[in-house]
């Protein structure tokens, strides 16, 4: 027996959780992280796949920030005209802005530059796509109801900002296609009644195209809008933890509890794995699918235009509305209001997003339901809400399709005018067709017994004597869910019992330190 301390003894002396536990203890002594940490690690996540849709958006946002930092290291936000002498020969000797030159160089001359650019672009498309899907889930299940209206509002704001920032980023390379997009944006701003001209000159620093717009878009795209979005995403998540998750009704699930997996260790493993999968899928898309080949488009020049120019998909409904709206104008009182632009590109999106903001309040008013809701609806439980949502989605989808009228006409060999008129009619009637169909389906589903539940399968086996026997298969894990006994929470620190002494005197309130 020697006096030296064995490794095992040292570990035992360090307490049950070793060096990590000690470090956390030290941190807790100074910052008091144990209480919040425990709340966070014990947060319960209901095991339903639709709760992962928002996480696609969250992790796409993380990828956007990471790849965006890389791109910002090489991109030059400048309208200064330079002559290109780079590695892409078809552009050799061409006059272009420094912004476009740096974007092309970043694609061809920077190691992994093109991959990063493509990942950034795909991540943006996926980001907004998953936000829309997440929003649809929240809407159709009624997760926006009291007490979560504020988080719904934050979500709609995030979607708006993401679309705006997507457009700003799309404009930065200053290629022929994105320049056309800026031109359209300028016209849309101009079309705002009365103040349009002043507004457009204020944004562009003078008449189109001016020399400052790329610089302004850059600072908005990389700092202002993402900064606001980061703050709102944080708030979104803080509210999520504070208000706890909603859950679908089921055995043992009530308005007052949350049944699911705890943050640590189950959900943390899931969600970390999911982060890597989202990053992996985005990287694979960046590697194998080419997006926005700006070198094929050439630099922007106000005199040049390409046909068949569409915006990125999330702006599609706006482009579609602009394309199919009839050429109406208002002249009078010394003013011209281009209604063909104002109505589809200013008033219509205002109405759609206004409706999204107002929906929780509207629904409260219509149903008179002011109660707290932590249990979700199935979409068939509320046929009217579901039908309304489907009607709006149908309208926006038709407008989205209308943004590719030329491609449809070309590929299906139909007259462009036929496609245009078809889309006009479809846009007008689609909500009125979608509403009753969705309403009827939801209503019938709601009244069907066992709809939405998994059917119990029978396993048919053949005995040795040749007899067939049908035996009900063992139930799915989902179907029998027992509420687990609360697990004892590991104690990192000794919590002192509150003494209960109340020695406030002389109007001074004493707050105990914990």
Partner 1 sequence: MRPVNTLRHLARYALAVAAIGAPLAWALPAHAANGPVYQTSRHNAGTPNSDVVTKKNGQITSYGDSAITYNVPSPALAALGQALYLQNCASCHGTEANGVPAAGTTGAFPNLVGLGPATIDFWIESGRMPAADPRAVQAPRRLPRLTHDQALAIAAWINSLSPSYPAIPTVNVKSANVAQGAALFALNCAACHTIEGDGDALARSTFAPSLRNIPATQVAEAIRTGPGNMPRFTGNLSDYQVADIVKYVTTEIQHPRNPGGLGLGGLGPVAEGFVALLVGVAVLALVGFWVGERQ
- 21, 37, 129, 262: which one binds partner 1 (CB under 8 A): 129
Q: Which residues contact 50 (CB under 8 A, 6 or more apart)?
A: 137, 141
| 289 part of the interface to partner 1, by CB under 8 A | yes
Distance between CA atoms of residues 59 and 272, nearest Å: 10
Distance between CA atoms of residues 378 and 324, nearest Å: 36
Beta carbon nearer to partner 1, 486 or 507 = 486
Residues 169-188 that bind partner 1 (CB under 8 A): 176-177
Beta carbon nearer to partner 1, 230 or 414 = 414
- 80, 197, 290, 448: which one binds partner 1 (CB under 8 A): 290
| 268 part of the interface to partner 1, by CB under 8 A | no
| 266 part of the interface to partner 1, by CB under 8 A | yes
| 416 part of the interface to partner 1, by CB under 8 A | yes
Q: Which residues face 96 on adjacent strands?
A: 82
Of the candidates 221, 434, 396, the one whose C-alpha atom is nearest the C-alpha of residue 316 is 396
| 431 part of the interface to partner 1, by CB under 8 A | no
Tell me which DSSP letter residue 307 carries: S
Tell me which DSSP letter residue 115 carries: H
Shortest spacing between CB 358 and partner 1, in angstroms: 22
Burial class for 141, CB neighbours closer than 10 Å (0-12, 13-18, 19+): buried
| 340 part of the interface to partner 1, by CB under 8 A | no
Beta carbon nearer to partner 1, 428 or 473 = 428
Residues 207-246 that bind partner 1 (CB under 8 A): none
Beta carbon nearer to partner 1, 194 or 303 = 303
| 392 part of the interface to partner 1, by CB under 8 A | no
| 28 part of the interface to partner 1, by CB under 8 A | no
Beta carbon nearer to partner 1, 202 or 289 = 289
Tokens found for residue 179: 């320049």
- E-strand spans in 84-151? 95-97
Shortest spacing between CB 303 and partner 1, in angstroms: 7
Gyration radius from the chain CA atoms = 29
Q: 3-class DSSP state for residue 331?
A: strand
Burial class for 110, CB neighbours closer than 10 Å (0-12, 13-18, 19+): middle
Shortest spacing between CB 281 and partner 1, in angstroms: 6
Shortest spacing between CB 122 and partner 1, in angstroms: 6
Shortest spacing between CB 60 and partner 1, in angstroms: 9
Shortest spacing between CB 419 and partner 1, in angstroms: 8
| 66 part of the interface to partner 1, by CB under 8 A | no
Q: What is the per-residue DSSP string for 10-22?
A: HHHHT-TTHHHHH
Distance between CA atoms of residues 203 and 189, nearest Å: 9
Shortest spacing between CB 388 and partner 1, in angstroms: 20
Task: Kindly report each contact of residues 88-95 with a partner whose C-beta sits within 8 Å and lies 24 or more positions away, as own/partner.
Answer: 88/295, 90/295, 91/295, 91/298, 91/299, 94/298, 94/299, 95/299
- 142, 173, 226, 316: which one binds partner 1 (CB under 8 A): 316
Beta carbon nearer to partner 1, 189 or 259 = 259
| 133 part of the interface to partner 1, by CB under 8 A | yes
Shortest spacing between CB 132 and partner 1, in angstroms: 9
From the CB of residue 274, how many other CB atoms can be counted at a distance below 10 Å?
A: 16
Distance between CA atoms of residues 380 and 141, nearest Å: 9
Of the candidates 470, 475, 437, the one whose C-alpha atom is nearest the C-alpha of residue 453 is 475
Distance between CA atoms of residues 395 and 390, nearest Å: 9
- 63, 71, 106, 114: which one binds partner 1 (CB under 8 A): 114
Residues 77-106 that bind partner 1 (CB under 8 A): 88-94
Interface stretch with partner 1, choices 203-211, 213-221, 376-384, 403-411 (CB under 8 A): 403-411
| 75 part of the interface to partner 1, by CB under 8 A | no
- 201, 208, 248, 274: which one binds partner 1 (CB under 8 A): 274
| Contact (Cβ atoms closer than 8 angstroms) between residue 273 and residue 86 | no
| 118 part of the interface to partner 1, by CB under 8 A | yes
- 415, 465, 487, 505: which one binds partner 1 (CB under 8 A): 415
Residue 116 phi/psi, 5° resolution? -65, -40
Distance between CA atoms of residues 463 and 265, nearest Å: 45
| 285 part of the interface to partner 1, by CB under 8 A | yes
Shortest spacing between CB 23 and partner 1, in angstroms: 30
From the CB of residue 397, how many other CB atoms can be counted at a distance below 10 Å?
A: 18
Interface stretch with partner 1, choices 18-26, 146-154, 270-278, 465-473 (CB under 8 A): 270-278
| 270 part of the interface to partner 1, by CB under 8 A | yes
How many chain residues bind partner 1 (CB under 8 A)?
A: 78
| 394 part of the interface to partner 1, by CB under 8 A | no
Interface stretch with partner 1, choices 6-14, 154-162, 295-303, 447-455 (CB under 8 A): 295-303
Q: Which residues contact 416 (CB under 8 A, 6 or more apart)?
A: 405, 406, 409
Beta carbon nearer to partner 1, 11 or 306 = 306
């Amino acid at each position: 027996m020697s006096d030296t301390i064995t490794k095992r003894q040292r570990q035992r002396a360090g307490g049950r959780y070793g060096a990590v536990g000690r470090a956390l203890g030290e941190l807790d002594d100074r910052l008091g992280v144990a209480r919040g940490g425990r709340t966070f690690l014990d947060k319960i996540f209901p095991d339903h796949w639709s709760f992962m849709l928002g996480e696609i958006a969250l992790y796409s946002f993380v990828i956007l920030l990471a790849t965006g930092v890389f791109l910002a290291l090489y991109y030059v936000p400048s309208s200064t005209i330079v002559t290109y002498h780079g590695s892409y020969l078809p552009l050799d000797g061409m006059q272009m802005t420094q912004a476009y030159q740096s974007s092309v160089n970043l694609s061809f001359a920077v190691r992994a530059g093109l991959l990063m650019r493509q990942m950034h672009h795909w991540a943006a498309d996926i980001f907004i796509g998953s936000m829309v899907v997440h929003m649809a889930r929240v809407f159709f299940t009624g997760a926006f109801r009291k007490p979560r209206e504020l988080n719904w509002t934050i979500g709609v704001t995030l979607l708006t900002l993401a679309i705006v920032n997507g457009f700003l980023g799309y404009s930065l390379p200053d290629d022929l296609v994105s320049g056309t997009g800026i031109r359209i944006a300028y016209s849309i701003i101009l079309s705002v009644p009365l103040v349009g001209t002043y507004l457009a000159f204020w944004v562009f620093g003078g008449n189109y195209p001016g020399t400052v717009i790329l610089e302004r878009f850059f600072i908005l795209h990389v700092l202002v809008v993402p900064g606001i979005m980061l703050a709102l995403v944080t708030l979104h998540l803080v509210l999520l933890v504070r208000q706890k998750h909603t859950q679908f009704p089921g055995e043992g699930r009530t308005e007052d509890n949350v049944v699911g997996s705890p943050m640590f260790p189950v959900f943390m493993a899931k969600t970390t794995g999911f982060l890597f999968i989202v990053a992996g899928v985005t990287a694979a898309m960046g590697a194998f699918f080419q997006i926005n080949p700006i070198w094929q488009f050439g630099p922007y020049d106000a005199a040049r235009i390409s046909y068949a120019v569409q915006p990125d998909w999330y702006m599609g409904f706006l482009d579609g509305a602009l394309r199919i709206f009839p050429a109406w104008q208002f002249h009078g009182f010394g003013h011209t209001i281009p209604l063909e632009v104002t109505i589809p590109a200013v008033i219509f999106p205002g109405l759609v997003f206004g409706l999204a903001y107002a929906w929780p309040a509207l629904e409260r008013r219509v149903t008179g339901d002011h109660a707290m809701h932590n249990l979700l609806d199935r979409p068939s439980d509320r046929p009217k809400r579901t039908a309304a949502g489907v009607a709006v989605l149908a309208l926006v989808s038709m407008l989205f399709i209308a943004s590719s009228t030329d491609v449809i006409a070309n590929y299906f060999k139909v007259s462009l005018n036929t496609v245009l008129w078809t889309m006009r009619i479809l846009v007008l009637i689609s909500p009125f067709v979608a509403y009753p169909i969705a309403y009827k389906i939801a209503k019938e589903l709601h009244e069907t017994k066992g709809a939405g539940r998994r059917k119990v399968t029978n396993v048919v086996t053949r005995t040795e004597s040749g007899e067939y026997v049908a035996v009900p298969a063992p139930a799915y894990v989902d179907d029998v869910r027992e509420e687990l006994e609360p697990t004892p929470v590991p104690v990192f620190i000794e919590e002192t019992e509150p003494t209960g002494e109340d020695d406030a005197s002389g109007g001074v309130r004493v707050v105990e330190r914990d």
